[in-house]
Structure 1
C-alpha cells in the first residue's frame, strides 16, 4: 500500500513539474512575443505615423497656399496690395519646401519627389500670376569700379559669364532674392562667419574663379551660376539649391541638396536625404571633408552629426533606367582632397 502511495506521489510530482515547465515555456513565449511587438512599435509605427502626419500637414499647407493664390485676382484692382500679398505667398512656399527638406530623411522616395513637384508647381503658379498682374520693370546690371579698385580692373574677357537662358525661372529662384550673399565677383576669397547665430537664406551667385567659405549655420543656401569656384559650407539646417555650375568643388552639409545643370564638378557631402540631381553631367561625389573650429558643435545642433552615407545615394531625376546613371559617379579615393580646414579666414586655403 505504501509503495502504491509513493508511486502516486511521484506521478503527481512529475505532473506538477511538467505543468510548471509548460507554464514557464508559455510565459517565455509571451515575453518573446511582447518584445517582438515592442520592437515592431519602435521600428515601424513611428515612421508610419510620421509619414502620415507629414502628408496631412503638407496637404493643409498646400491648400492654404492655393487658396491665397486664388485670391490674387480679386485684389488685383489695388496693385499696392499685390506685392506684399505675393511676398507672403512666396515665404509660405519657401517654408513648405523647408518642411519637405526637414522631413525627407524619413519619407519614402516617392513622397519626397511628389512633394517637391508640388512645391515646384506652386512656385510656377506664383511666377505666372506675378508676371500677369504686376508689370515687370526693365533693369540692367551696372558695374561700378571703386577708387581703390581702379588700378585692378578686370578685363572684359575675364568677367564672369552670365547666361540669359531660363531668365524667368533663374531670376525668381536665385538672382532676385533679397537674402545676404556673395554676388558678381572674380578671383576673390569670400568669407562669411555666422558662428554666433544661425542666419536665414544665403545666396552665392555669379562668381568666377572664387573661393567661398561659410563658417557657422545657415537655414537655406542658394548657389547660382558659378565657374571654376571652390565652395566650403558649414551646416545648412534646411536645403541647398545649386543651379548652373561648372568646374567647381563643393563641400557642404545639409538636410537636403538639389543640383540642377551642373557640369564637371565634385561634391563632398554630408546629407540627411538622398541628393537630387537633374540635367547634370560629369558629377562626382565623396564624403564631407570640411573642418573649422566649432564645426562638431554646429553639426550636432543642426542634426547633421551622424553619417548617413547618402552622399553616395544620388537620385538622378533625368535617368529612369534601372542601371547606374552615367551623369554621376563616386569620386575615387586617390583623387579626393584631404580635410579642408577653413578656420583661417585670412588667406586662400589649401587641402591638408
Structure 2
C-alpha cells in the first residue's frame, strides 16, 4: 500500500505540509503591517489553521496509534509556542486604531493608505485603491482607464462619472473590505503595494487585481480571501501562499505557489498552482486551469497542478465528493475574460455577474 492509499501515510504527508506552511506564516508575521489590524488578522488566521490541524488529528484518531497521536500533539504545541514567541518579538509598542472624531481637529488626519476612493454612483462602478495621500489629492489625479478591445473608454466613462485614478506612491499593501456591488480594477501603479493582499467581506462585486501583479512583475507576497459571496475575483499572481476561507457562489482566478481553501461552497476556481491545492470543509468546488490571458510567460513553462487537489477531510482512496474538474463546456471563454470582466460603459456590475453565470441575488445585501 503506497502513500496515496494508506491513510496513515497520507495523513502524515498532509500534516507535515500544513505544519510547514503554518511555520512559514508565523516566521513572516513580523513583516505584516499592524495598520488597521492587519497583523492581528494574520495571527487569527494562523490560530485558526493550528486549530483546524488539531481537529484533523482528533478526527484521525481511529487509525492513528497512541504514539503517533502524541507526536502530532507535540507538533501542534510547538506551533503554538512558535507563534507565542513570534508575537512577543514582533508586537508593536502601540497599536494604530481608528478613533471617532469628537471635535474639529487642528490638522487634517492622515488617510489610511489602503482606503478605497470611489466617485459615487453610475452604471459602471470602477474603483481604484487610494494612497496615503488625502482623498482630495486623489480627486485631482486623473488617470487613463484600461484599453479594452482596442478602444480606450477613459473619456466616455470620465464624462459619465468623473472617474479618477489615485496614486500608489506610499501604499505598502492592498486591503479591500466591506464592499457591495462595485467593480474594482487595480491599476498598474498598485504594483508598489503588493507586499501583501487581503480581500474580506466582499459581496456581489467584480474585483480584478491582475494588472499590477502580472504585467508589472510585482506579484503579491501572500494573499487572503475571506467572506466573499456572489463575486468574481481575478486575484492575479501570488509568489507565496493563498488562504481562501468562507467563499461561496463565486468565481476565482488565481496564479500562486500554494493554495489552502477552507469552508468554501459552490466555487469555480480557475487556477495555476505549483503545488497540490488543499481543501478542507468544502463542498461543490470545481477546478479548471487559469485562462492563458492571466498567465505570464514564465508561468507557461511551469507544471500546473490545478487538478491535483488534496481534500484533508477525505482520506479514502476514492475521489472526494467535495470537488471536481469543471467541464470544458462550462468554462468561461477568452472573450469573457478579455472583454466582459473589465467592463464597458453602460454596463453595471450585475450585468457582468450575470454574463459569467453568477446571480447577484445570491450575494449578501
Provide the TM-score with structure 2 as the length reference.
Answer: 0.48
Rg comparison, structure with higher value: 1
- The structure with the greater share of residues assigned to helix is 1
The structure showing larger relative contact order (alpha-carbon pairs under 8 Å, at least 6 residues apart) is 2
